[in-house]
Structure 1
Amino acid sequence: MTDRVPIGVGVLGAADIAWRRTVPAIVACDRLRLVAVASRTPEKAGAFADRFGGVAVTGYQRLLARDDVQAVYVALPNALHEEWADAALRAGKHVLVEKSLTVDAAAAVRLADTARTAGLALVENFAFLDHPQHGWVRDRIAEGAIGEVRTVSASFGVPQADPALIRYRRELAGGALRETGCYPVRLAGSLLGPDVEVVGARLRHDPGTGVDISGSALLADSVGVTAQCDFGLAHAYRNTCAVWGSTGRIEVDWAFTPPPGTRPVVRLHRAETVTEHRLPAADQFLRMVDGFAEACADPTRQDRYRDAIVGQASLLGAIVRQADSTPSAVTRAGQPGGDRVPA
């Protein structure tokens, strides 16, 4: 236990990820204290408060006005992330925001500057980076277990679900890039470094809704190390990454969403030998919110989170521009056509 006073947290929105993973982690973190949950309807806010504690609040601005809330978790549809992250920062609150925050690099810079000026933490929720399996991969790379890294590949796709879900609604900024593609892109950025750029991209759109339902992007750093990122919302389930080097390869079976009780499997290929490592289970969401609490308390830790937000938004925006510059597109039926809707 810590002798520091826990940081009071308010939740904006009632997203499924908040219910299943993030709010339980906030409640379990001894450095944070759930104070209030806000929704547009009292029923949704009340359901969260009944299960997790805190006060149910109807209306987001009312939560931001509370003096007992020092930090805010934004769990709203993508289209509202930027607006309410900005409102929370201007209300003097630290902000943890669901991905994807934005695909607009200029907007990300404005938010980061607002947070920096106010001395506030601004963190985008990529909890998978806090799972120890990715630290294990980085350690093996650093010690030369696979030689020099040549390329990274990462895939995250999920089966078709109810078309009414937010992820399939263009007006709420749904779509494969912001829902699943953001994960492999963020992983590639973490492995290739700050000079990574997008060198090619494709997005495939549903001709009826205009929402991107699948895509691929090729990233590269300044020395030519590449990363292939594939993603989608109408796929057989896949959730993997691999790092291929000059003398070996590392494969991660459950790269982005391992449950807290699952011991992930990582394979190390060298020459003709394959070594399978079953790593300890970990709650990546609990580790993530603990890191957020640390950033709230320690201003020296805040810049790296804000810089990551700007870098991620820059990459996602570049993917959209690359895809939009493609001379032709592929429709759902697989035929060239002009019914592609820009992201």
Structure 2
Amino acid sequence: MTPPVRIGVLGCADIARRRMLPAMAALPQTVPAAVASRDPEKARATAGPFGARPVSGYGELLARDDIDAVYVPLPAALHEHWTEAALRAGKHVLAEKPLTLDPAATRRLLALARARGLVLMENVMFVHHPQHARVRELVASGAIGELRAFDAEFSIPSLPEQDIRLRPELGGGALWDVGVYPVRAALHLLDEDPRVAGAALVRAPGDEVATGGAALLRTGSGVLARLAFGMRHAYRNTYALCGSEGRITVDRAFTPPADHRPVIRLERGGAHEEFVLEPADQAVATLRAFAHAVRTGHHIDTDGPLRQALLLDAVRRQAV
């Protein structure tokens, strides 16, 4: 029997405590082996419920020989440094999105991972949820005719003023935090990588980072993608694919709870049909894919992080 991948966690971020550590513990292919923090008490409190070892300091965790892989849920501006450190320590890496804030850095880290025979995966969990594969099947079957447009939005209510996602030095801002979802959805669901036709980022009074934005994309075949995202907005988490003969809509598209039963709505010719799917835990699905890649060397999404980084950067550069 193949042994589980022993994962060390750098930091005690909310996403690690709430989603990823429980998923690591639930999945037979992975085990939460250690949690590192600069605060020893915080490391103990986070590691304890999952049977993981508390470690004082990120460097100490990377030096351990009982760790196969590292999960990096640190603020976005720290991903590049600690991902590189983990790779140079011989560890496979699952890093939170965005992998870096710069396409050149993303390209460099992916090359480093390849050169060392290591898996480097970006933790974009929603692409591993089966509801999106079902959507792709419907589009490919001609359920909505020829694809004409794609609309996606991910917006969340205002964050506490001290939240790290509002700090520019830590890579905060709507584009990196919530804009990544509709951007990656466009790459995941369209047959061609789109180009940016226009974009805007807006900053709320008193904020140091952009807290909202939108982008208009276009593929070579003329499919338009309209993306919106924000951090001081009413909650919205949806996308729609519009075709010559119908429309597919998905709500709770990017961050569905593990017990959520996804509903895919199809409108065509005045008729409405709903496809209700079984619940799926996308954190578990992501870790399953990561563990498979680590144990087999077969990583199916090696170009996703760079394509995403290039499109996010194009939105940033075109924004007015």
Fold shared per TM-score above 0.5: yes
Partner of residue 93, structure 1: 91
SS at match of 1:251: strand
- Conservation of the 8 A alpha-carbon contact between 1:11 and 1:73: yes
Is 1:306 the equivalent of 2:302?
A: yes
- 1:229-240 mapped onto 2 (5 Å cutoff): 229-240=227-238
SS at match of 1:316: helix
- RMSD over aligned CA atoms reads 1.1
1:43 to 41, 46, 56: 41
Partner of residue 217, structure 2: 219
Instruction: Give the 3 Å change call, closer, same or farther, for CA 149–77 of structure 1 in structure 2.
Output: same
User: What are structure 2's unaligned runs of at least 5 residues?
Assistant: none
- 1:1-343 mapped onto 2 (5 Å cutoff): 3-193=1-191, 195-299=193-297, 301-302=298-299, 304-323=300-319, 326=320
Q: TM-score, normalised by structure 1?
A: 0.91
- Conservation of the 8 A alpha-carbon contact between 2:77 and 2:101: no
Instruction: Give the 3 Å change call, closer, same or farther, for CA 68–80 of structure 1 in structure 2.
Output: same
2: CA distance, partners of 1:78 / 1:138: 30
Please list every run of at least 4 consecutive aligned residues from structure 1 whose deviation after the TM superposition is greater than 6 angstroms. Answer: none
What displacement does 1:44 show?
1.6
2: CA distance, partners of 1:163 / 1:305: 36
SS at match of 1:106: helix
What displacement does 1:11 show?
0.3
Amino acid at match of 1:28: A
2: CA distance, partners of 1:210 / 1:305: 34
2: CA distance, partners of 1:226 / 1:93: 40
SS at match of 1:306: coil
Residue range with higher mean Cα deviation, 167-176 or 108-117:
167-176
What displacement does 1:272 show?
0.5
Amino acid at match of 2:143: A
2: CA distance, partners of 1:149 / 1:102: 32
Amino acid at match of 2:127: L
User: What are structure 1's unaligned runs of at least 5 residues?
Assistant: 327-343
Deviations, residues 22-78 of structure 1 (Å, cap 9, x unaligned):
111111111112111001211221111111111101110110000011100001011
> Quick one: percent identity of the two aligned structures?
52
Deviations, residues 197-244 of structure 1 (Å, cap 9, x unaligned):
222110002343321100001122221112111000000000000000
What displacement does 1:160 show?
0.7
Amino acid at match of 1:314: L
1: CA distance, partners of 2:192 / 2:270: 34
SS at match of 1:56: strand
2: CA distance, partners of 1:194 / 1:298: 29
Instruction: Give the 3 Å change call, closer, same or farther, for CA 194–246 of structure 1 in structure 2.
Output: closer
Amino acid at match of 1:307: D
1: CA distance, partners of 2:158 / 2:294: 38
2: CA distance, partners of 1:114 / 1:194: 27
- Conservation of the 8 A alpha-carbon contact between 1:96 and 1:125: yes
What displacement does 1:194 show?
5.2
Q: TM-score, normalised by structure 2?
A: 0.97
Deviations, residues 253-281 of structure 1 (Å, cap 9, x unaligned):
11011111110121000010011222111
SS at match of 1:212: coil
SS at match of 1:315: helix
SS at match of 1:9: strand
- Conservation of the 8 A alpha-carbon contact between 1:77 and 1:172: yes
What displacement does 1:148 show?
1.2
What displacement does 1:298 show?
2.1
- Conservation of the 8 A alpha-carbon contact between 1:122 and 1:305: no
What displacement does 1:161 show?
2.1
Give aligned pairs, total: 320
2: CA distance, partners of 1:155 / 1:33: 34
- Conservation of the 8 A alpha-carbon contact between 1:124 and 1:305: no
Amino acid at match of 1:196: P
SS at match of 1:280: coil
Deviations, residues 74-119 of structure 1 (Å, cap 9, x unaligned):
0101110111111111111110001112231111100010011111
- Conservation of the 8 A alpha-carbon contact between 1:103 and 1:314: no
